[in-house]
């Protein structure tokens, strides 16, 4: 086994807190929703039982309405902010009140596919929870009835400080943020983290949800931040296709039919996120009707979601070629030629292994093997250069954010470090 394989396993094991894995001990000491899903793919390469457990622990924190939280605070940690008291959801275990990209069903399909019927009992345990979560998105977060995903907090996108959220977040009143002390900037260089203004907006939105008693319907209807996120929308559509395949395997015909209806709706509705002037899928603010007009790494998830006409796909690939010429490593989280591009700052420039993984799968499935191989080899090189970091500068390959990062290690084990297929 190569040294990097060993290191990657050791990171997963060291960050394992018993049933759940922390993204990285110093910066994120709890369980994060989509991190756990990607982490399960890493565990699946050497401990399938532990992989299922990661997903089970995540879904055990599901609320009665189907919602699955973005953080599960299995304990307290004075060094983390905003912690359970700030969220004030009053749950056991304590959780945040917002969600994250629903990649779990896609991961579960892969776990089941790898093991086959032997894993059926475990699949049956999580399946109804995944169904309930997907129904929650449709019921609570699809106000235009188009199969899209509206987010009510930038953190729900998983792309926390993407410039796609700047204009909508600047309209959020920040008085509610109060005074607070950030912890993240003690652990990581502040040039790599969101700004104070953004943090005020984040905290004001947390206060808004807390004051609304985390009643999700009410928040969706009245939040000062209501944006259709291209990333969550694409990821959910893909997850619906995977959940559909699972429903068919389990002989759950009624659920399969229900999901088919939602898939058709989303396939027809996704055009709402196409910005013809830009030639890309972009997030769109529900309150103003404006798209961000930005080409982000999430724009290319169209291939992973299986959407877009031939012409739209060609336009997306033209952007990718242009971005390739401007960056050393693909895929930067924002178009390097955009004025807001900021090479080391989190989701405003850096390359993220988990995003590359989804993009590469999408390219491979659409017959674009060259792009798929390219993303795999770029991700591999970035990890070989400096190890398992949170993200990487697309211009130099320098690491950004936290280190010994779980999901990056998981992506090495499940994908970038493997010499064969995606």
| Chain residues that interact with ligand GLC, rule: CB under 6 A | 23, 28, 32, 34-35, 158, 160
The least distance separating ligand GLC from the CB of residue 381, rounded to whole angstroms, comes to 22
The least distance separating ligand GLC from the CB of residue 200, rounded to whole angstroms, comes to 17
Write down how long the chain is: 422
Nearer to ligand GLC, 283 or 312 (CB): 283
> How many Cβ atoms from other residues are within 10 Å of residue 178's Cβ?
11
Nearer to ligand GLC, 246 or 355 (CB): 355
What is the Rg, in whole angstroms, of the alpha carbon atoms belonging to the chain?
20
> How many Cβ atoms from other residues are within 10 Å of residue 218's Cβ?
12
Which helix (H) or strand (E) covers residue 22, if one does?
none
Q: Cβ contacts of residue 257 below 8 Å, gap of 6+?
A: none
Nearer to ligand GLC, 240 or 390 (CB): 390
The least distance separating ligand GLC from the CB of residue 23, rounded to whole angstroms, comes to 3
3-state secondary structure of 14: helix
Nearer to ligand GLC, 17 or 146 (CB): 17
Q: Cβ contacts of residue 404 below 8 Å, gap of 6+?
A: 11, 14, 15, 24, 25, 388
Please give the structure tokens belonging to residue 364: 């491979």
Nearer to ligand GLC, 23 or 66 (CB): 23
Position of tokens 């982490």? Answer: 39
**Marked catalytic residue, from 160, 324, 340, 373:** 160
The least distance separating ligand GLC from the CB of residue 147, rounded to whole angstroms, comes to 23
Q: Are 22 and 395 in contact (CB under 8 A)?
A: no
Q: Cβ contacts of residue 12 below 8 Å, gap of 6+?
A: 21, 39, 42, 43, 406, 409, 410, 413
Nearer to ligand GLC, 158 or 308 (CB): 158
Mark whether 373 is an active-site residue: no
Q: Are 362 and 305 in contact (CB under 8 A)?
A: yes
Mark whether 35 is an active-site residue: no
**Marked catalytic residue, from 200, 342, 378, 390:** 390
The least distance separating ligand GLC from the CB of residue 94, rounded to whole angstroms, comes to 17
The least distance separating ligand GLC from the CB of residue 101, rounded to whole angstroms, comes to 8
Strand pairing partners for 280? 275
Query: Buried (b) or exposed (e) across 225-251, using 16+ Cβ within 10 A?
Result: bbbbbbbbbbbbbbbbbbbbbbbebee
Catalytic residues: 160, 390
């Amino acid at each position: 086994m190569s040294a990097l394989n060993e290191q990657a396993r050791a990171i997963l094991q060291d960050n394992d807190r018993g049933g759940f894995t922390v993204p990285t001990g110093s910066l994120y000491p709890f369980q994060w929703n989509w991190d756990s899903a990607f982490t399960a793919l890493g565990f699946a390469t050497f401990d399938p039982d532990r992989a299922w457990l990661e997903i089970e622990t995540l879904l055990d924190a599901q609320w009665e309405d189907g919602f699955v939280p973005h953080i599960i605070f299995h304990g307290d940690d004075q060094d983390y902010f905003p912690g359970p008291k700030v969220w004030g959801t009053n749950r056991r275990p304590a959780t945040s009140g917002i969600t994250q990209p629903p990649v779990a069903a896609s991961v579960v399909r892969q776990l089941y596919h790898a093991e086959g019927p032997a894993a059926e009992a475990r699949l049956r345990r999580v399946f109804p929870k995944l169904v309930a979560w997907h129904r929650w998105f449709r019921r609570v977060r699809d106000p235009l009835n188009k199969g899209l995903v509206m987010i009510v907090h930038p953190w729900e996108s998983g792309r926390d400080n993407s410039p796609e959220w700047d204009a909508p977040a600047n309209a959020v009143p920040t008085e509610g943020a109060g005074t607070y002390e950030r912890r993240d900037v003690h652990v990581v260089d502040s040039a790599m983290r969101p700004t104070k203004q953004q943090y005020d907006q984040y905290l004001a939105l947390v206060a808004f949800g807390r004051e609304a008693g985390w009643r999700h319907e009410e928040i969706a209807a009245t939040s000062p931040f209501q944006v259709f996120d291209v990333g969550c929308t694409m990821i959910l559509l893909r997850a619906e296709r995977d959940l559909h395949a699972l429903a068919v395997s389990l002989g759950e015909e009624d659920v399969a039919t229900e999901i088919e209806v939602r898939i058709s709706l989303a396939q027809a509705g996704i055009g709402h996120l196409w910005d013809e002037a830009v030639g890309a899928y972009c997030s769109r603010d529900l309150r103003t009707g404006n798209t961000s007009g930005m080409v982000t790494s999430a724009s290319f998830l169209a291939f992973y979601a299986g959407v877009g006409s031939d012409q739209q796909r060609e336009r997306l690939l033209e952007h990718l070629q242009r971005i390739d010429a401007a960056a050393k490593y693909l895929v930067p989280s924002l178009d390097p030629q955009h004025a807001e591009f900021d090479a080391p700052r989190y989701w405003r420039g850096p390359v993220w292994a988990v995003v590359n993984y989804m993009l590469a799968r999408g390219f491979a499935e659409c017959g674009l093997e060259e792009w798929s191989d390219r993303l795999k080899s770029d991700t591999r090189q970035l990890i070989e250069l400096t190890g398992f970091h949170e993200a990487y500068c697309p211009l130099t390959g320098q690491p950004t954010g936290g280190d010994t990062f779980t999901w990056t290690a998981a992506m090495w084990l499940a994908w970038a470090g493997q010499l064969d297929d995606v």
